[in-house]
A = this chain, B = another copy of it.
Amino acid sequence: MSQELTGRQRSILAFIHRCIREEGAPPTVREIMARFGFASPSTVSGHLQALQTKGYLRRKPHQSRGLQLVQEQVEKIFYRTEGIPVLGTVAAGKPLVAYQNIEEVLTLKKLLPERGFALRIQGESMSGAELHHGDYALVRPQPLANDGQIVVAIVNGDEGTVKRYRERRGKIILEPANPDYEPIEVAPEEVTIVGVVIGLYRRLS
């Protein structure tokens, strides 16, 4: 479906991309026309048609500013602004980061959807689950958790801790992943679940 873009098509795609990000809405045909110094709206129409058939764009017919970027395709081209490119393979020769070789793009949104936050891991109580001191836990805030998930929880108004969440016999067990530490067993009303750890980031080297 998705094919190579010509220079003009790429530029126009970039302009649409910028408009959506900075202006909050896609441009009109004539705004694109003005931006590139075209003298006819048909010129733009042609390019949009090409971008659409190549799978980078969707158009809502007869709607003003009815342009939508097909996110997966566009991210691959503008990975620099959007996120971290994930390469399919690394081979000798050829430019490394070419968009033909990008499998996926890691964006902040994908790392942490909605309005999450990160917590730096203190101590080694979760080292059995490979959360070590200094690692970043990416936390999605939510008030409930499933059995077995790693959560950020507050017990009796203390500071939040990172533990594995278990439910047993009507009690809640906050379980460290390191046998040197003791599990905490409390009644549900003593615990506030702040969020669930959905990702891990570690700085190496």
Interface on A for B, CB 8 Å cutoff? 20, 23-26, 28, 64-69, 75, 79-80, 83-87, 89-92, 96-97, 103, 106-109, 111-112, 115-120, 130, 136, 138, 141, 149-150, 152, 154, 157-160, 192, 194, 196-205
Contact = CB atoms under 8 A, between A and B. Distances in A.
Contact of A197 (B80, B130, B196, B204): B204
Contact of A154 (B84, B90, B203): B90
A178 B175 CA distance: 28
Contacts of A24: 20, 25-26, 67-69
A138 B136 CA distance: 15
A61 B85 CA distance: 39
Given A65-B65, A198-B203, 14 more contacts: A20-B25, A24-B25, A85-B118, A89-B159, A90-B119, A90-B159, A91-B160, A96-B141, A106-B118, A106-B201, A108-B108, A150-B205, A197-B204, A200-B201
Given A84-B138, A119-B90, A25 B108 contact: no
A19 to B, nearest CB: 10
A50 to B, nearest CB: 20
Contact of A86 (B91, B96, B117): B117
Nearest to A146: B205
Nearest to A89: B159
A106 B107 CA distance: 12
Nearest to A93: B157
Given A25-B25, A198-B203, A198-B205, A87 B154 contact: no
